[in-house]
Amino acid sequence: MAQNAVGRLFRSHQSATTLRQSIGSITQTRGISRHAVPTFTPTTSPELDQALNRFREELFIPFGLSQQQRRLMFRQKYADQLEQEPVTANLGEEEEFLLRPMDPQSRPTKNEAIEVISLMKNTTDWKNLVPLLSGLRMSNRLMKSNRLEWIVRKAAEANALGVVLECAKQVERTGVRLNDAGVVQRLFFELHRKAQKAEFQGPEVAKALSIATQLVGLMERPGHVEHDVVKDPKRRPFVIGTLLELSAARALSEFGGKDVDGNVRVYSQRLLGSWALGNYNAETADWVSVDKMLQENIPIYNGMKLALQVHGILNERAVAPGLKNRLNELNQLISKQVKSVPEKVQQKPTVGLVQAQLLYQG
């Protein structure tokens, strides 16, 4: 009995010694690079600042630590010892992080990240989207396409589509790829709405066109390119049609109706060449699908109308007949769709229908 007691005491002492040695060895491990852990800039909301800081301290930094350091934080058996013998990790040369016991089940989730993004109200707040998505990516929390579409819509409400462009430029950090047709369609529809709210005049048109052009350029780069022609978003009429709309609007509002850079003609030709890849199913009855179709086709419809007002396009044999024919086709399709709006939708118009009501003249 005495021998057993001594044995248990020895094993207990040995276990405690092992824990101390383990913690001691961890305190000697090299600090993580500050560049590996995203940092946030101050926002206009204390609540948002606090939420972002929680993500950084409870999710991003732990994922940037070594496996030994993470084990020390998240395993219950180290909790008491860690509180008695604090361990500090160096984040680069200027920042230290004090390791503390954490429950892995309490770490911030993707749903909580969406809640954080919903707190972003202006461009100052939205500048933190890049580090937030970067941290989520390094923590293996990847945003699905439908979530990214939602993010684009919220960014547009805050006039922060330029931040989404920056996310796409840093694709390896953020995971925001432009090879998904749904995400790209949402981006270009919001750029269309940005110009529409400015009545297709002034600097907002130029800004929307600049973002759209840069997005298309990114689609040619690694991380974004889609090799399947049918799936390639940049070949879709909704992308080319929006580029045509914005280019024609700028020609009319800035350059006296002249196609000074030739882009109105170029995009007109490309739109006609890509027409077969569009979404024009007149038999679609489900209103969600119909409204999505309107979101794609109203910018195309308006783009062709504006293009035919640009000097030289109306008499350009290579594009004018095709534009007129396709414009007539869309006119008939949209006319049918706006006449079949369900009563419930009439009372609360959907986003595609709103654009049709603003821009369609049947």
pLDDT at 16 over 60: no
pLDDT at 52 over 90: yes
Is residue 241 domain-shared with residue 350, that is, in the same domain?
yes
| Confidence at residue 44, expressed as pLDDT on a 0 to 100 scale | 97
CA-to-CA dists, residue 307 to 28, 71, 282, 315, angstroms: 67, 62, 25, 11
> Which residue did the predictor score with more confidence, 9 or 110?
110
Residue 25 in any domain: the answer is yes
| Confidence at residue 219, expressed as pLDDT on a 0 to 100 scale | 97
> What is the pTM for the complete model shown?
0.88
| Confidence at residue 259, expressed as pLDDT on a 0 to 100 scale | 98
Among 61, 79, 106, give the residue marking a domain's end: 106
In the 3-class helix/strand/coil scheme, how is the chain assigned residue by residue?
CHHHHHHHHHHHHHHHHHHHHHHHHHHCCCCECHHHCCCCCCCCCHHHHHHHHHHHHHHHHHHHCCHHHHHHHHCHHHHHHHHHCCCEEEECCCEEEECCCCCHHHCCCHHHHHHHHHCCCCHHHHCCHHHHHHHHHHCCCCCCHHHHHHHHHHHHHCCCHHHHHHHHHCHHHHCCCCCCHHHHHHHHHHHHHHHHHCCCCCHHHHHHHHHHHHHHHHCCCCCCCCCCCCCCHHHCHHHHHHHHHHHHHHHHHHCCCCCCCCHHHHHHHHHHHCHHHCCCCCCCCCHHHHHHHHHHHHHHHHHHHHHCCCCCCCCCCCCHHHHHHHHHHHHHHHHHHHHCCCHHHHHCCCHHHHHHHHHCCC
> Which residue did the predictor score with more confidence, 269 or 31?
269
Residue 154 in any domain: the answer is no
Residue 276 in any domain: the answer is yes
Is residue 346 domain-shared with residue 223, that is, in the same domain?
yes
Among 54, 80, 106, give the residue marking a domain's end: 106
Question: Which positions ≥6 away from 106 have C-beta within 8 Å?
Answer: 58
Is residue 230 domain-shared with residue 342, that is, in the same domain?
yes
Residue 16 in any domain: the answer is yes
Lookup result for tokens 């309490």 = 106
Amino acid at 262: G
| Confidence at residue 9, expressed as pLDDT on a 0 to 100 scale | 36
Among 106, 135, 166, give the residue marking a domain's end: 106
Residue 229 in any domain: the answer is yes
Residue 302 in any domain: the answer is yes
> Which residue did the predictor score with more confidence, 91 or 240?
240
In the structure, what pLDDT confidence band is assigned to residue 152 with cuts at 50, 70 and 90? very high
Residues 63-121 have pLDDT tens digits of 888 888 888 888 888 777 777 788 888 776 677 888 888 888 889 999 999 999 999 99
pLDDT at 3 over 60: no
CA-to-CA dists, residue 108 to 153, 228, 242, angstroms: 23, 37, 38
Residue 114 in any domain: the answer is no
> Which residue did the predictor score with more confidence, 3 or 224?
224
| Confidence at residue 25, expressed as pLDDT on a 0 to 100 scale | 47
Give, rounded to a whole angstrom, the gap between the first and last alpha carbons of the chain: 97
Dist. CA 303–CA 299, nearest whole Å: 6
| Confidence at residue 7, expressed as pLDDT on a 0 to 100 scale | 45
pLDDT at 361 over 90: no
| Confidence at residue 11, expressed as pLDDT on a 0 to 100 scale | 44
| Confidence at residue 32, expressed as pLDDT on a 0 to 100 scale | 53
| Confidence at residue 12, expressed as pLDDT on a 0 to 100 scale | 42
Q: State which residues form the domain around 309.
A: 177-359
Dist. CA 68–CA 54, nearest whole Å: 22
Is residue 196 domain-shared with residue 299, that is, in the same domain?
yes
Is residue 182 domain-shared with residue 317, that is, in the same domain?
yes
pLDDT at 282 over 60: yes
Instruction: Work out the burial of residue 91: count CB atoms within 10 Å of its CB; fewer than 13 is exposed, 13-18 middle, 19 or more buried.
Output: buried
pLDDT at 24 over 70: no
Is residue 317 domain-shared with residue 186, that is, in the same domain?
yes
Is residue 224 domain-shared with residue 348, that is, in the same domain?
yes
pLDDT at 21 over 70: no
pLDDT at 5 over 80: no
Q: Domain total for the chain?
A: 2
Q: Please provide the size of the chain in residues.
A: 362
Is residue 331 domain-shared with residue 195, that is, in the same domain?
yes
Lookup result for tokens 């199913």 = 281
| Confidence at residue 81, expressed as pLDDT on a 0 to 100 scale | 79
pLDDT at 279 over 90: yes
Residue 244 in any domain: the answer is yes
pLDDT at 26 over 70: no
